[in-house]
Copies of this chain bind each other. A is one copy, B any other.
Amino acid sequence: MTSKIEQPTMDDYPTRKEQTPALLYRKDPAVYGDAASGPIDTETLASYDAKGYLQIESLITRDELEAYRAELARIGSDDELKKDERVVVDQASDEVRSVFEVHRISPVFAELARDPRLVDRARQILGSDVYIHQSRLNHEPGFSGTGAFWNSDFETWHAEDGMPRMRAVGFSVALDDAHGHNGSPMVMPGSHRTFVSCVGETPGDHYREPPKQQEIGTPDQNSLSILAEQHGIDVLTGPAGGAHILDANCMHGSSGNITPFPRSNVFVVYNSVENACEAPFAASEPRPRYLGSRDFTPVE
């Protein structure tokens, strides 16, 4: 009589499965291409590889910036759109804070999302064709910006969207100046080499909870202290029209914004077509497609 031995599912990045958090080594490269395969030079690629992010002082033209700002204003004043589930509206002010899948909602931002200045860099870093896993327009107004606690995007994409490996990048194009005082993104440079395995179990419809109140998928304070001691914290300041590229697993967050100066940006996540999402690694079903796409068609 032979007994069948059940094979455990291989998961290099287990999370939301144990009662104690853990720091795990990354088992994927951060850079898959080289200087010959795109616009990023060797030195900048090496810096991205080491830090998990890179900054571009000026990515779009002044005219493009004005056009994107006008589109942001247009979207913000579209009352019909506020009823769309992909649009996050601040209850108190009735202002649009986030628009998911903005590359499907707005032809203007659709063009930005397939712009070679972004896509060529994404292909170069990921070493393959890419598709858009998520896009988002963010508007953090002055005086009342609430910020976001530390998190690794990959942890969520892996657990809830079924992204198998660390082979995705986020591009954030700044529509306002990011100063040291208006809630600019903070990153722990080098933290992308470590995966923080989080505790707890993903509840159903977890994505509906306001991010501030989410505890599941949030790194524990001890792990964050270790990473911050080891890597320090960089504040990503820079002018409107600039951009930064963030590795999927780079630990990042932002403080609140009490200044009068708003911060808006467009965020586009490119995933390698060789890393298409599967079943979620720690959730009963994938999040809605506007949060994690299941359309793996490469960007042309």
Residues of A that sit less than 8 Å from B by CB? 142-143, 147, 149-150, 179-181, 183, 186, 221, 224-225, 228-229, 233, 235, 253-261
Contacts and interface: CB of A to CB of B under 8 A. Distances in A.
A186 B259 CA distance: 9
Contacts of A254: 258
Contact of A235 (B181, B186, B221): B181
A57 to B, nearest CB: 19
Contacts of A235: 180-181
A147 B259 contact: no
A225 B261 CA distance: 8
Contact of A260 (B142, B180, B228, B255): B228
A37 to B, nearest CB: 34
A233 B178 CA distance: 13
Contacts of A233: 179, 181, 259
Nearest to A181: B233
6 contacts: A147-B255, A181-B186, A181-B233, A224-B260, A228-B260, A233-B259
A205 to B, nearest CB: 26
A178 to B, nearest CB: 12
A29 B180 CA distance: 30
Nearest to A228: B260
A254 B257 CA distance: 9
B143 A228 contact: no
Contacts of A256: 147, 255-256
In the complex, which of the residues A142, A181, A221, A224 has the most CB atoms of chain B within 10 Å of its own CB atom? Answer: A181
B181 A260 contact: no
Given A181-B186, A186-B181, A221-B143, A258 B228 contact: no
A196 to B, nearest CB: 13
Contacts of A221: 142-143, 260
Given A228-B260, A253-B258, A255-B258, 10 more contacts: A142-B225, A147-B256, A181-B186, A181-B233, A183-B255, A186-B259, A221-B260, A224-B260, A225-B260, A255-B255
A160 to B, nearest CB: 22
A173 to B, nearest CB: 22
Contacts of A179: 233
A183 to B, nearest CB: 7
B258 A149 contact: yes
A223 to B, nearest CB: 10
Contacts of A257: 255
A261 B228 contact: yes
Nearest to A182: B233
